[in-house]
């Protein structure tokens, strides 16, 4: 057990090991004893002593030291990941004791898909900042699935199946896959009435993540095999087909959340609306230790409400799950 292992450090002095762990994390993150010591307001010799004592206690070398830099050993990299988790647990326990459930405050690390961040979250940040001035935000726009624990993320937005275990999930919406084009394009080329009509149009698609040819899914019998669509342009970023469509270059198929802003500004018009299909669920996920804190709770509610409002603007219904029991991914 962690507590049992802590208890043997330097004559049962648990605080000494926790201090050493904090020093080790800072040295590993900065790659320097000197910079870490300055930030922690201790001497370089004290920082070195703390890490040496930790290595002696563990019986392994955590850091490779040269005259120019400090780097992690393989054991050190693994220990760093675990140590961050332990220190985060301690920090969260301290915040709970300080009644942060009723006072949202502190640093909140948020990870969201790039397109969601650019189109929906970033424009809404002034409102969030006004509501919660004591929360500092570290927002990361990512289209890769990050390890929330290893990268110390408090809350993340996920679209589709949830893969990482040991997390708590709150499903907040289910997106719809819609077809859209600029009003000017439709005025020049006509509006398709069925998916079959798409064969006579310029089509703008998102390239599949795994490569290959895009396939637009519509309800039967309009299968990709039947439609055999030709795509005039393909893009590797989710927002690119939207920008191209809004410029009048053709018809695109996208999620309603991303199209919402363009639809609201009348830069895009939804077509083939009765052929829209349900897309994957959208969930907010967070490490189990984090979901109790007020800062995570208020951001979660803010993001869920943001999704609902934008889907309403896009003219699509929202499949919301309220702030009741969360789904465990353990």
Query: What ranges do the domains of the chain cover?
Result: 2-91, 176-278
**Half-sphere exposure in the Cβ direction for 64 (13 Å, CA):** 8
Contact 310, 120 (CB under 8 A): yes
* pLDDT value, residue 294: 85
Task: List, run by run, the mean pLDDT of 10-residue segments along the chain (330 residues).
Answer: 39 70 89 86 88 89 84 90 85 64 82 86 92 93 82 87 75 87 96 94 89 86 89 90 95 89 89 90 80 83 85 50 34
For the beta carbon of residue 234, count every other beta carbon within 10 angstroms. 15
Judge if pTM exceeds 0.75: no
Q: Domain 2-91: which CATH class?
A: mainly alpha
Domain 176-278: CATH architecture, name and number where available: 3-Layer(aba) Sandwich (3.40)
CA 204 from centre of chain: 26
- Cis previous bond, 221, omega within 30: yes
Residue 93: partners with Cβ closer than 8 Å, 6 or more residues away: none
Phi-psi region of 228 (alpha: psi -120 to 50; beta: other; left: phi over 0): left
Q: Which residues in the chain belong to E strands, given as ranges?
A: 63-65, 70-72, 106-112, 135-141, 155-159, 167-181, 203-206, 233-235, 251-255, 269-271, 277-287, 327-328
Q: What is the separation of C-alpha 108 from the centre of its chain, rounded to a whole number of angstroms?
A: 12
pLDDT value at position 10?
Answer: 45
Q: Return the bridge partners of 169, or none.
A: 285, 327
**Bridging pattern class, strands 251-255 and 167-181:** antiparallel
Query: So what's the pLDDT on residue 320?
Result: 35
3-state per-residue secondary structure call for 92-143: HHHHHHCCCCCCCCEEEEEEECHHHHHHHHHHHHHHHHHHCCCEEEEEEECC
What span, in angstroms and rounded, lies between the C-alpha atoms of 184 and 176?
24
For 245, residues 6+ apart whose C-beta sits below 8 A from its C-beta are 180, 181, 182, 185, 204, 251, 252, 262, 268
Q: For residue 232, what pLDDT is reported?
A: 94
SS3 category, 151: coil
């Amino acid at each position: 057990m962690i507590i049992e292992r802590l208890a043997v450090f330097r004559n049962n002095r648990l605080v000494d090991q926790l201090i050493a762990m904090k020093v080790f994390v800072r040295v590993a993150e900065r790659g320097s004893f000197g910079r870490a010591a300055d930030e922690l307001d201790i001497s370089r010799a004290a920082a070195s002593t703390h890490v040496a004592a930790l290595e002696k206690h563990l019986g392994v070398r955590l850091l490779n030291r040269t005259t120019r830099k400090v780097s992690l050993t393989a054991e050190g990299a693994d220990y760093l990941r675990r140590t961050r988790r332990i220190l985060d647990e301690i920090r969260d326990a301290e915040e709970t004791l300080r009644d942060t459930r009723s006072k949202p405050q502190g640093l909140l690390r948020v990870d969201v898909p790039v397109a969601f961040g650019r189109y929906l979250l970033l424009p809404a940040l002034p409102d969030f900042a006004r509501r919660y001035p004591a929360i500092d935000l570290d927002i990361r726009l990512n289209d890769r699935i990050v390890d929330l624990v290893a990268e110390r993320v408090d809350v993340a937005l996920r679209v589709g199946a949830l893969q990482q275990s040991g997390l708590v999930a709150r499903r907040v919406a289910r997106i719809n896959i819609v077809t859209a084009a600029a009003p000017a394009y439709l005025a020049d080329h006509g509006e398709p009435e069925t998916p079959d009509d798409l064969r006579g149009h310029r089509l703008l698609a998102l390239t599949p993540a795994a490569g290959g040819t895009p396939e637009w899914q519509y309800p039967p019998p309009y299968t990709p095999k039947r439609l055999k669509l030709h795509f005039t342009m393909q893009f590797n970023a989710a927002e690119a087909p939207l920008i191209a469509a809004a410029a009048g270059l053709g018809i695109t198929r996208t999620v309603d959340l991303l199209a919402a802003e363009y639809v609201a500004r009348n830069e895009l018009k939804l077509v083939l609306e009765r052929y829209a299909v349900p897309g994957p669920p959208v969930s907010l996920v967070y490490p189990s230790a984090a979901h109790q804190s007020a800062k995570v709770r208020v951001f979660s509610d803010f993001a869920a409400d943001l999704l609902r409002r934008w889907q309403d603007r896009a003219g699509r219904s929202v499949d919301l799950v309220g702030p009741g029991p969360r789904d465990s991914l353990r």
